[in-house]
Amino acid sequence: MFDYLRKLLNKKLVISQCLVVLLILFTIHSSAQLKTEESEIGLGWSNNSVNTVIFRNSALTSFKNWQFSAYYNPEGKMVLAKRNLNSNKWETKITPYSGNVKDAHNCISIAIDSDGFLHVSWDHHDTRLRYAKSKMPFGLELGEEQSMTGDDETKVTYPEFHNLPNGKLLFFYRSGASGRGNMVVKSYDVKTQKWTSVQNNLINGENQRSAYWQICVGKKGIYMSWVWRESWDVSTNHDICYAFSADGGQTWDKSTGEKYSLPITKSTADVVWEIPQKSSLINQTAMTVDEVGNPYITTYWSTNGVPQYKVVYFFAKKWNLIDTNFHHNPFTLGGGGTKRIPISRPEIFVNKSMLYLLFRDEERDNKITLGYLNLNKKQWNLADVTDYSVGQWEPNFDKELWQEKKELYIFSQNVSQADGEGLTKVTPQPVRIIALKKLPILN
């Protein structure tokens, strides 16, 4: 930012332009690098971003003082890892399972059920379900690959697990292809150790479009938001929609309290923020919920050629917007495949009056950055989490530890990504976990 101001001054631009930049400086304060603790797990595949895509949910999770992670190693083998949270030493196991690491969609999603069994799903992009669970509680040795229910398991993409407060485990994924997919939900009962179908078509693309969603679980239930995409082209993303379930995904409500008639379609969706196509609206970002049950959705889109992070949130019986001006240079989203984008998709979390965004930006040398503000004042501050680049990394953090202790544990790796599902030739980079046990708080 200061270099940018110097350039303006050196070009002898008019005073009014300099005053605008000074106003930005006073609006966004860049504080010193945050105090962190790092632990290294091992070397991971880094020729694309498959280990760090945001839709992994989760790359990192904890249960009863044990933390688990997973990643692909340089040979494309899936590696599982665990540690006691009192130690920086990780135990790792190279599994017999591999993934098509050349496609950044084919990430690994993990969860721990309430009996301590590790559940893993990996290697999906319109392909058959790949799923296994550990042989023993807290173990890293997986059993054989297995089906869940056997239904709608031939064209799976974007699998993700979510733990419910009642001990059940939910599994969400898209059945079908980009631009013509439906949303499937399954539930795992730890008592019977069986999966059952909850929804075989929760959000129906009507063979014309797909929903790209983000989900969080709060004390009151399951919160879900999504954008519609009209084709394989990311430029056709539009609108932010919303649904809530208080009964484990059986029934769903709009933000008005009105019950959905399932499946949800484009004509029945609760559009909470209208965004037209060709707005560089990104898909599959993140959402969270505050202590009283208000949902917060974060994404980015452009209104003037420069995409900016934005937070759409429900408060005082209406949807509101918090904008940012972190990014300065224009870019346009368009085309298919995994994109090489100047900024990452953001993660979001809330603690009382504090709102946090986790991201990286090429304009900040691709360091991991934490944006934060007091919701009562809405003045953004920025702080570096790392003093080194993480390339095309996107954020994943341990949501269980955040909920329990309000400590932030981040999955990190310096990865590359060529545009349109391409590969780069780089040296394998270490997978690290970065801990921020004390986050900045503004009064």
pLDDT tens digit string along 63-83?
Answer: 999 999 999 999 999 999 999
The sign of the dihedral angle between the CA atoms of 432, 437, 440, 441 is: positive
Quote the CA–CA distance of 119 and 110 in Å, as a whole number: 6
Quote the CA–CA distance of 414 and 52 in Å, as a whole number: 9
- The mean pLDDT value for 294-321 works out to 97
Q: In what order do the strands lie in the sheet with 318-323?
A: 286-289, 295-301, 308-315, 318-323
The dihedrals phi and psi of 65, each to the nearest 5 degrees, come to 70, 10
Taking the C-alpha atoms of 337, 341, 343 and 349 in order, what is their torsion angle to the nearest 10 degrees?
Answer: 0
Beta-carbon contacts of residue 71 (< 8 Å; ≥ 6 apart): 41, 42, 44, 45, 51, 59, 78, 79, 81, 108, 413, 431
Q: For the segment 229-272, what is each residue's pLDDT rounded down to a tens digit? A: 999 999 999 999 999 999 999 999 999 999 999 999 999 999 99
pLDDT of residue 25 exceeding 60: no
Please state, in angstroms and as integers, the Cα–Cα distance from residue 177 to each residue in 80, 121, 161, 229, following that order: 29, 18, 20, 11
149 in Cβ contact with 129 (< 8 Å): no
pLDDT of amino acid 389 = 98
Taking the C-alpha atoms of 171, 172, 176 and 181 in order, what is their torsion angle to the nearest 10 degrees?
Answer: 160
Q: For the segment 409-437, what is each residue's pLDDT rounded down to a tens digit? A: 999 999 999 987 789 999 999 999 999 99
Smallest Cα–Cα separation from 158: which of 132, 178, 180? 178
Q: For the segment 89-146, what is each residue's pLDDT rounded down to a tens digit? A: 999 999 999 999 999 999 999 999 999 999 999 999 999 999 999 999 999 999 999 9
pLDDT of amino acid 178 = 72
- Amino acid in the structure at residue 180: R
Q: For the segment 336-361, what is each residue's pLDDT rounded down to a tens digit? A: 888 899 999 999 999 999 999 999 99
Quote the CA–CA distance of 214 and 224 in Å, as a whole number: 6
pLDDT of amino acid 177 = 77
371 in Cβ contact with 365 (< 8 Å): no
Residue 364 carries which DSSP code? G
Residue 343 carries which DSSP code? B
pLDDT of amino acid 338 = 86
Q: For the segment 369-395, what is each residue's pLDDT rounded down to a tens digit? A: 999 999 999 899 999 999 999 999 999
pLDDT of amino acid 421 = 78
Q: Among 13-17, 37-41, 224-228, name the one with the lowest average pLDDT.
A: 13-17
pLDDT of amino acid 302 = 97
- The mean pLDDT value for 5-34 works out to 45
Smallest Cα–Cα separation from 99: which of 120, 68, 69? 120
Quick check: pTM over 0.75?
Answer: yes
pLDDT of residue 28 exceeding 50: no
